[in-house]
Amino acid sequence: MASTEADDCFPCACSFTTWQGRSYILFADCSSRNLSYIPDINTDIYVLDLSNNAIEADELLKLSRFRFLMVLWIQNIPLKKIPKELPSAISHIRELDLTGNKLDVFFSDSLASIRYLEEVKGLEATYFEENAFQGLGSLKTLDITLSQSNISENIFSDLKLSSLTLRITTSEIFPTNLLSFGKISLSYLAIFAPRVTYLSDMVFDGLSRLEIISLNFESLQSLPLHLFFNPSNENMPTHLLSLSIHGVKSLPRDILRNQQRLESLTLSGVEDLPSGIFDGIQTLHHLNLSTSNVRRVSPYWFNDLGSLKSLNLSHTGLRELGNNSFVGLNSLSVLDISGNHLNSLPESVFQTFRETLHHVNLSDNAISYITEKIFWELFSLLSLDLSHNGIVKISTRSFNHLSKMQILNLRNNSLYYIPEDVLQYQLDLRHLDLSNNSLQSIPQTLLQNAIALRFLDVSNNPVATFPENFLEHSRFLETLNMEGNPLHCDCRLFVIRSQTSGPMLNMTGICVSPEHLKGMSLNTASFTDNCISSTTESHVLTPTASKITTETTPLTSSDPEKETFSSTNSPFKSTISSSSRSVLPNVTSFQQKTTDKTAPSTDAMTFSQTTTPFSQTTTSFYQTTTLTSSSREETSANAPTKPSSTMKETTGDITSEKPVVFEGKDYGGIPSSGMKAFYIAMTVIGTLFVISVTAYVIRRGRLALRSRSYSVNERIVIAQEEANASSNP
């Protein structure tokens, strides 16, 4: 069956469905295949894409054999004319996409015979005849570009569009009655007219059903005062839900008067925004003033916007904000004031909406110091973007009240130091970006409470090493980016991986040292090789938080292979063999100094090390035990120290090993066996959860596919009946 379907679709890619034992092509993708002809594929097609080919206009007449075709995309063929017979050949289609083609002339009968056509996209012609769309009574959506200088007001007559996207590329005058056809049904209107310099206040007369308007007039100085509201005319668009105005130089103060349902307003690129323009718009939820000329927010400018949810003041030239700049915005949850010239913020600037604010974007300004009270009492804040500011200093208590914050972006600043307690209350922090700063080090306790952290970026900082324990509580970390740092790849990086999600952690960066790892990626470098001592003795350092000093001297000639060790803070003593080696990868850093035994004053080999557990799931380990230096005299007299009764004795060259329970810091207060049982239980629960979710998704997907198949098949049957009816009048 699979091979048959492939043969039916070659050279295209198709998706099939079956209805009453018959195979249908839901979608045939024949785009970008260097075709100059209509491919000979299964004729039972619902959607056909022939875009980005070189198909001749007359070749399109062969589409007549696709009896059930409903959607046709012929973008960038390129097509210069529509053959007169084409409408009859594709008389059943509902959607036609002509984007990227520019017709020479669009005649009144170019698409007249396609009586079921509902949507046309990308229609462009050098010239459109009057009544160009006659006979298209079913057309609801039209996307059209008019390139002619003289535009007839009757181009759209007889249409009953609900949505019109209109581009006027050449004309400088917008015909007053061009949109009069839409008095009954037009609800969406988008106009792009970069050269239009005059617009009548009667353009929208009678369009009372309009709900969404988008206007882009780059050459227009101002909009008429009564464009949307006229006291002497009740049939004006006064029930708008969304209004966008781009490029107009200035606006009348009362242009938004009587808009009692307006929820979304965009004023972009406006150079003159009069005071009081927002008065009385109490239903507004979203206000976008991006790229308009604001510079300074007048006090109480937004006083009537108590329902506003989001405010965008990005790239508006703002130079200052006052404590009363946002008075009245009691419901604001999203604030974007990025890309301005702010160098400081008043301490009470956000207090008006401190209980509702969720997202703040202050990026790309000139703020150098984050003081203690700027974000005071913003208990609901979820994300904060302070990137690209040149911040040099952050107060330790700057984020103390941001207990719900999940995303913090401090990228591209000038931080050389970050307070260790600045994130102590961010238990829900998931995303932290400290990249492209001047940080010399990362405080060990910076993330001690960030138990939910998933993403950490410390790339492009002069940080070579990281504290071993700074991620010990971030066990769910998924991404750690250290690209561009002069990384010294020692055992501490292994400890970091073992403390977090281990193999699931995506840890990126390039080793700069040691020499044998230089240039290697963290994903391929073997840290364990750098964690094993290269001396002839077996060195295993206890994972304690204290400093350990070990001395070694050879035994007498009667037992030449044995050595005596002295370990400060070591709770056990025994004899070890130099041939015995430990490969435990829990050594983090050490300094070694070896001297000649013949020099009495330098006969010791000293190790100094601060270590931590390499795994939080275990607190016990095997350690080769040592002898104290006080037994030198006994060993020199051929009287070796007797092993402790709690240890196994040495046999031959094999050193005994005994599990020693570490009594140091308690990581989580859970013993080894309890932690193991906990992780096993969590793994089982997680597996069962994934299985149940997968089964649910598969079931829902099957139901959705079955429902879609029934819907498509029903439309195909309807189309087939219509085709039979048209062929047998």
Same-domain status, 645 and 540: yes
Exposed, middle or buried: residue 12 (CB in 10 Å: 0-12, 13-18, 19+)?
buried
Classify residue 654 as exposed, middle or buried by CB count within 10 Å of its CB (0-12, 13-18, 19+): exposed
Q: What is the pLDDT of residue 548?
A: 35
Is there a single domain that holds both residue 494 and residue 556? no
- For residues 618 and 501, membership in a common domain is answered with no
* Cβ neighbours, 10 Å, residue 446: 21
Longest dimension (CA), the chain: 122
Within 8 A by CB and 6+ apart from 212, the residues are 187, 188, 189, 240, 241, 242, 243
DSSP element (H, E) containing 498: helix 491-499
pLDDT for the residue 631: 38
Q: Do the domain assignments include residue 460?
A: no
- C-alpha dist (Å) from residue 512 to 482, 494, 589, 712: 12, 16, 17, 60
What per-residue confidence (pLDDT) applies to 93? Answer: 94
Q: Write out the residue range of the structural domain in which residue 592 sits.
A: 535-661
pLDDT for residue 275? 84
Task: Output the pLDDT for position 24.
Answer: 73
> What pLDDT is stored for residue 189 in this prediction?
97
- 108's CB contacts (< 8 A; 6+ apart) are 129, 130, 131, 132, 133, 134
| pLDDT recorded at residue 643 | 39
Same domain, 581 and 621: yes
How far is 145 from 704, CA to CA, in rounded Å? 38
Residues 597, 501 share a domain:
no
Q: 554 and 648: one domain?
A: yes
Nearest to 363 by CA among 430, 413, 407, 420: 413
546 and 632 both lie in a single domain: yes
Q: Is residue 573 part of a domain?
A: yes
- Work out the number of other CB atoms within 10 angstroms of the CB of residue 312: 21
Determine the pLDDT at residue 674. 61
Residues 541 and 563 in one domain: yes
Q: Clarify whether residues 540 and 654 are in a common domain.
A: yes
Question: Which residue, of 661, 694, 722, is where some domain finishes?
Answer: 661
526 lies in the same domain as 558: no
Report yes or no on 433 lying in a domain: no
User: What letter represents residue 357's amino acid?
Assistant: L
Of 106, 151, 101, residue with least CA distance to 121: 101
pLDDT for residue 529: 53
Q: What is the pLDDT of residue 175?
A: 93
> Is 642 part of a structural domain of the chain?
yes
Q: Is residue 613 part of a domain?
A: yes
Enumerate the β-bridge partners of residue 455: 431, 479
Residue 635 lies in a domain: yes
The whole-angstrom separation of Cα 25 and Cα 10 is 12
Final residue of a structural domain among 616, 638, 661: 661
Per-residue confidence (pLDDT) for residue 180, from 0 to 100: 92
Query: Among the residues of 49-171, which ranges form H helices?
Result: 86-89
**Taking the chain (729 residues) in consecutive chunks of 10 residues, what is each chunk's mean pLDDT?**
59 79 81 91 88 92 91 93 91 94 92 91 93 90 94 90 96 93 94 94 93 95 91 89 94 91 94 88 94 87 92 94 91 96 91 93 96 91 96 94 95 94 93 95 90 94 86 88 90 76 79 87 67 38 36 37 37 35 36 38 36 36 35 39 38 38 39 66 88 86 67 66 63
Q: Are residues 491 and 604 in the same domain?
A: no
Indicate whether 53 belongs to any domain.
Answer: no
Number of domain units in the chain: 2
> Are residue 563 and residue 494 in the same domain, yes or no?
no
Residue 592 domain-assigned (yes or no): yes
305 burial (CB, 10 Å; 0-12 / 13-18 / 19+) is buried
Q: What is the pLDDT of residue 495?
A: 77
Domain end call among 498, 531, 564:
531
